[in-house]
Amino acid sequence: MIAALRRHLETIVLIASGLVLAAGGVLAWAGDDAAARWMWIAGTLLGLAFALSATVEAARHRRPTVDIIAVLALAGALWVDEPLAGAIITLMLATGQVLEARADARARRELSLLAARAPRTARRVVGDGLVEVAVEEIGVGERLLVRPGEVVPVDGRLAADATLDESALTGEPEPVERPAGGDVRSGVVNAGGPLELVTTTTAQTSTYAALVRLVEAAQAASAPFVRAADRWAIAFVPLTLALAGGAWWVSGDPVRAVAVLVVATPCPLLLAAPIAIVSGLSRSARLGVVVKGGGALERLARARVAVFDKTGTLTRGRPQLADVVPADGGDPDVALRLAASLDQVSAHVLAGPIVEAALARGLALTMPDQAEEVHGHGVRGTVGGRRVRVGRPSWIAGPDPAPWARQVRRRADLDGSMSVMVEIDGEPAAALLLRDPIRPDAPRMVRALRAAGMDRIVLATGDRADVAHMVGRIVGVDAVLAECEPVDKLTALRREGERGPTLMVGDGINDAPALAAADVGVALAARGATASSEAADVVLTVDRIDALADAILVARRSRRIALQAVAVGMGLSLVAMGAAAAGLLPPTLGAALQEVIDLLAILIALRAVLPGRLHTVAIPEEDLRTLAALRVEHDGLAPLVERVAAVADGLSTQAPDLAPVLALRDALETDLLPHERADEELLVPLVARALGSHEAVAALSRTHAEIERQVARLRRLVDGLDPVPAPEDVVELRRLLYGLYAVLKLHNAQEDEGAFSLAPARVP
């Protein structure tokens, strides 16, 4: 009972003060002035006890507070026999406390949405049956069944295509389709039929558990909410006391001093600023950005220099298959199919991308037999009666690799790629090249940060200088610091801090020191949180870094509105204090006027609840569906694009084989060109509508035309070749194919950045 009263103390005081004030008014209207006076005295005493308890609590925590002014005003109202003024002040204080508590509770509800849905049990697949177990008992590599409507309990890899509701993590209401072999995060809801997955984390290290910890940290940081008034209390309290004392000394009338104290009750500070800041916390949470308290939100609003790590922030942080290089005479599709079949049971970080790439190419996978993970090397097993090993090149090729394997290693070094070797029946069969691609939304995010007021953007990474500078050039940063150890990032933050408040963005354990040292640390936790999330002030729970730019816009707008509310409210209060000191404003009228000023300041602050300008583009649902369908076609043509370079590589001036060229030409005309024409007809107008400018899509239209021109040139060249082409014709054919490949790669990057990045993120 006592605990419940404490939880609702502000509401109880508000109701009681309102009833007492109203009862006194009724009694005064009825002519019973004595009873009315006692009613208002009771209301004043209630407010005095309420304000005094807040002052004692602040003193106990050694925190400056303006509540002392309310205590003096209420005590002074009793002393000079102005109980009506005291009763009005009590109602004003109680109203403010209730509004602040409601705003704080609203922010907590936004932050607690994830924690409230945490799953407790899971269904483990055992033989031909299911066993329900606690999520804490789930290990890595187990098969789980998730029924329709249930929450996925731990991170895993899908055994078949699935339809998922990811709104709790991403905020996007539309269900998304995830392919077999794709990663699925805990916390999403199965929106389709029963799905099976192979676990890749435990419950304790899963995405959902990490996000729950982040919510708890954010709530701890924002409760109790440190009121913005505390920062101005040191200056405001002495000013008020000096003005009140001066009015009393000059006039000899203590009523003037009480009047000054009454109108000095600083509810614009007590209420307006917290309402605006808490509204910013709530709106940021809805964008998928958890800000750990009002202080972090204000520091985010003041940031002027951004320092980014590369891997997982400006890049995907998750490799994708870039190419399959077969051994002499090998079949790349066979090697990829067997490797992906074996990797279905592997929890290694490179296994998922290999499985996804095989499924994207339409390869039929089979479950392996006797699969065994060899720690630090790879995985081996039997697939369809064939012995397969997939893993490190040194494990497969040995200390003296074949010439093709050495060439693959050189190519991987030049491209900054990772290589995985495939062995079939004891013979090296192919090398799989994987690359961590740049996030399509990274360049847009950098431009959005500049538009939001960021003065300088720096890339600080431990990667090689050539790779780092390439990424920095593409996304558009101001400076690149490569081959950085954690201590080098700290040094860079101190140096950049001389230019203004710093913001550090990272997602790895090695980023935790820099995140803690920056004025604002921002961590990415869309695929699970690490030490970086614990050290950060701001955590992105969606797999879009451009959400950071929106969070900065929200933070700056909330801070700006808070300052506007404080400036208007306190400015009017200072004017009223001057009038009260001059004897122009009696205490009762001053209390009523202060209530009007408070309401005006609160109304100004409540503007922060309304949606403000964001850099994110709003796209209608019909256009989003069109964009998703074109994206599927776009991704499905990636192997055909790589095939252009592979065919060019295979051309030789000595006895050239034109059969691959003829097959490629037909595939380009039947598969690629129809897609590019559909892009011109559907994608280009869609993006122009979203961005509000046809100039923004002029480059896309130009490359569509160039692709069609190059394919037409290829047909004319091939049709005009002799059965045994001359060497110079082969050279020209190879040159044309390499040129077409370059145009296609550039065009795909343009579409990823300028068109498909406008859609909600697709977390693999």
Q: Which token pair is 491?
A: 């040094």
Active site residue 309: yes
How many helices and strands (H and E) does the chain possess?
30, 22
Say what the alpha-carbon torsion angle 192, 198, 204, 205 is, to the nearest 10 degrees.
-100
Pick the closest to residue 471 from 431, 430, 443, 495 (CA basis): 443
Angstrom distance (rounded) from CA 707 to CA 702? 9
Q: Tell me which residue has tokens 């604002």.
A: 520
Q: Report the interhelical angle of 621-636 vs 638-650 (nearest 10°).
A: 20
Q: Which residues pair with 420 in a beta bridge?
A: 432
Distances in Å between the Cα of 549 and the Cα atoms of 287, 544, 552, 671 are: 11, 10, 5, 38
Task: Report DSSP letters for 562-586, one per residue.
Answer: HHHHHHHHHHHHHHHHHHHHTTSS-
Q: Are β-strands 378-383 and 386-391 bridged in parallel, bridged antiparallel, or unpaired?
A: antiparallel
Q: Are β-strands 369-374 and 378-383 bridged in parallel, bridged antiparallel, or unpaired?
A: antiparallel
Tell me whether the omega of the peptide bond preceding residue 173 falls within 30 degrees of 0, making it cis: no
Angstrom distance (rounded) from CA 219 to CA 216? 5
Angstrom distance (rounded) from CA 146 to CA 197? 8
Q: Tell me which residue has tokens 């964009």.
A: 627
Question: What is residue 155's three-state secondary structure?
Answer: coil
Tell me which long-range contacts 345-349 makes (C-beta under 8 A, separation of at least 24): 345/141, 345/198, 345/371, 345/379, 345/381, 346/371, 346/373, 346/379, 346/390, 347/140, 347/141, 347/157, 347/198, 347/199, 347/200, 347/373, 348/373, 348/378, 348/379, 349/318, 349/319
- Choose, from 155, 183, 309, 323, the residue flagged as catalytic: 309
Angstrom distance (rounded) from CA 190 to CA 118? 14
Q: Which token pair is 251?
A: 């006039």
Residues annotated catalytic, as ranges: 309
